Amino acid sequence: MPKIKIDGIEFDCPEYWTILDAAKFIGINIPTLCYHEGLSTWGGCRLCIVEIGKDINTKLVSSCTFPVQEGLYIRTASKKVIKARKMILELLIAQNPTAKVLQDLASKIGLNKIRFKPKWENCIYCGLCIRMCEEQMMAKAIGFVNRGNKLKITTPFDKNSEDCRRCGGCIYICPACTIRCEGSHPESVLCNGCYNILQPTCLDVHDNYSCWMGLEGECGICVTTSTNQKINEKKEI
């Protein structure tokens, strides 16, 4: 049983686990998108990245596909991770700003600007629908077609597929075909209607989120008065 250390917690875990399994086991939340318990892992969205290694020899890996190893040192919420994760989410939202799942994630991890031109597509290529159709519905009616910027998900020849059982599993699992609630600015790329404003300030000072409750950016308890003041000032203007 390999011994690993996640965010300072050391423990043994079965060798067939991934980093994500281990993090879940001890209650550390890592955001995921293309991962689903009932399906094979794919590692396509990269949202679940974590930092492994110590000092300067660190590397970002996708936790849903990376198997645990003896002595693995993992940080799930370091500066590097948060920065990369925000960028990934930024790209995903630019692809499909209408998905509630993405908007909620943005609020959660404190993303407050999108620097890319929104594409308003309705798919983020997470591949969940394809795996759902294949692995749970045993239909294999849909799949990736074309490649590069022409990539899309469809049935053979874009026709009604005989293999499709009309079960709706693909729609059920799709994170992109959810409609976001109309926040204060329904037209904008990022709605940030809810709880994006109160972000903890740990990262301004430390290299990791050091939330003793393991809430990483959701609590807002430690938001300093200075940030609150800034927000209030903004509101007044």
Partner 1 sequence: MTQSKKNVEEVNIIIDEVFLDKSIKKHGNFLIPILQDIQESYRYLPEEYLIKVAEKLQIPLINVYGVATFYQSFGLVPKGEHIITVCLGTACYIRGGTNMVDVLTKELNIKPGETTKDKKFTLETVHCLGCCAISPVMVIDDKIYGNLTRAKLRKILNRFRENEEKLK
Q: Which residues bind ligand FES (CB under 6 A)?
A: 32-35, 43-48, 62, 64
Contacts of 82 (CB under 8 A, 6+ apart): 109, 203, 209
Beta bridge partners of 78: 208
Question: Nearest 5°: phi and psi at 132?
Answer: -60, -50
Residues contributing to the site for ligand SF4 (CB under 6 A): 100, 103-104, 107, 123-129, 132-133, 137, 139, 141-142, 153, 164-170, 173-177, 180-181, 183, 191, 193-194
Q: Count Cβ atoms below 10 Å from residue 62 Cβ, excluding itself.
A: 23
Please state at what angle helix 79-95 crosses helix 100-109, rounded to 10 degrees.
150
Question: Smallest distance, Å, CB 157 to partner 1?
Answer: 6
Q: Count of CB atoms within 10 A of residue 233's CB? A: 9
* DSSP conformation class of 148: G
Q: Which does 144 bind (CB under 5 to 8 A by kind): ligand SF4, ligand FES, partner 1, none?
A: partner 1
Q: Which does 64 bind (CB under 5 to 8 A by kind): partner 1, ligand SF4, ligand FES, none?
A: ligand FES
| Nearer residue to partner 1 within complex by CB, 26 or 171 | 171
Contact call for residues 48 and 20 (beta carbons, < 8 A): yes
CA–CA dist 19, 51 (Å, integer): 11
Assess 163 for contact with partner 1 (CB under 8 A).
yes
147 binds partner 1 (CB under 8 A): yes
The encoded tokens of residue 149 equal 């910027």
The one-character DSSP state at 149 is G
Q: Which residue is nearest to ligand SF4 (CB)?
A: 193
CB of 23 to ligand FES, least distance (A): 11
Among 8, 14, 67, 156, binds partner 1 (CB under 8 A): 156
**Binding-site partner at residue 78 among partner 1, ligand SF4, ligand FES, none, CB < 5 to 8 Å by type:** none
Nearer to ligand SF4, 151 or 221 (CB): 151
Residue 143 is a binding residue for partner 1 (CB under 8 A): yes
